[in-house]
Structure 1
């Protein structure tokens, strides 16, 4: 079954926390699909990944023309770049995760609706036999495994 990691954002917004996790995936030679709930978030993440650090570059694209990139930003449940990792943000509904090595569910810890929704996702994914873990941002933005 797929390992599903829940990332509770408390210190940094998504556009600041996501790049370091994407870098770790690319270090492992894993392609990634980042699935957002709407096109506005896809556009914002596209912009953020171009500008997050002067000394670094994350090969990514959004839309149908970018499916050959290592990181594909989308609202779709497709996997045209053969990604091993699926990142779900803003409450995006998970597709069938059986074909992924890992899935990351990133959520805003200051949004009660997001917290409620992710609890439901946790229960459903665990009930389907996926290995689920919970990670929370510490004071300096580092991730600590809580469950």
Structure 2
């Protein structure tokens, strides 16, 4: 049974945090789907990931290509990931379900804590998952480093 990890971004930009977490997921051997809500925003994220640090190549692809099933990290707006993802990263308010949390190794929900809409969406997701009995953790970087603040 998996868990949902909520990451409340207040100090670092999304792409920086996502890159760090994706590297950790790859280190754990997980295949990942990065689920967004807008293909244009995912295309921007794709371009930003290709321009990551020189010492940390992060192999990934944008859904819709001929090699989606082979991608260790697939950026998509779909709930079904053809790459056999065992971990889903939700960005830009993409929905996840308690059933996904239970079925996957990990679900990571990244949200901009300086954006009221994103913050309210994350609060709603936390409540929905908690009410459904899903395991969840809330992580904040408010102090300048990541700290676990709550757990269900």
The TM-score with structure 2 as length reference comes to 0.91
Unaligned stretches of 5+ residues in structure 2: none
Q: What corresponds to 1:112 in structure 2?
A: 116
In the alignment, the residues of structure 2 paired with residue 76 and residue 127 of structure 1 have an alpha-carbon distance, to the nearest angstrom, of 24
Give the ranges of 4+ consecutive aligned residues of structure 1 lying more than 6 Å apart after TM superposition.
Answer: none
Instruction: Report how far residue 23 of structure 1 moved.
Output: 0.3
RMSD of aligned residue pairs (Cα, Å): 1.3
Contact 1:61 1:67 (8 Å CA) reproduced: no
Unaligned stretches of 5+ residues in structure 1: none
1:51-70 Cα offsets, whole Å, 9 max, x none, are 12011111100022233110
Q: What corresponds to 1:83 in structure 2?
A: 85
Q: What corresponds to 1:2 in structure 2?
A: 2
1:21-32 → structure 2 map (5 Å cutoff):
21-32=21-32
Q: What corresponds to 2:103 in structure 1?
A: 99
Q: What corresponds to 1:63 in structure 2?
A: 63
The TM-score with structure 1 as length reference comes to 0.93
In the alignment, the residues of structure 1 paired with residue 35 and residue 56 of structure 2 have an alpha-carbon distance, to the nearest angstrom, of 22
- 1:50 to 2:54 alignment: no
Q: What corresponds to 1:144 in structure 2?
A: 147
Q: What corresponds to 2:139 in structure 1?
A: 135
1:81-102 Cα offsets, whole Å, 9 max, x none, are 1111100011111154032111
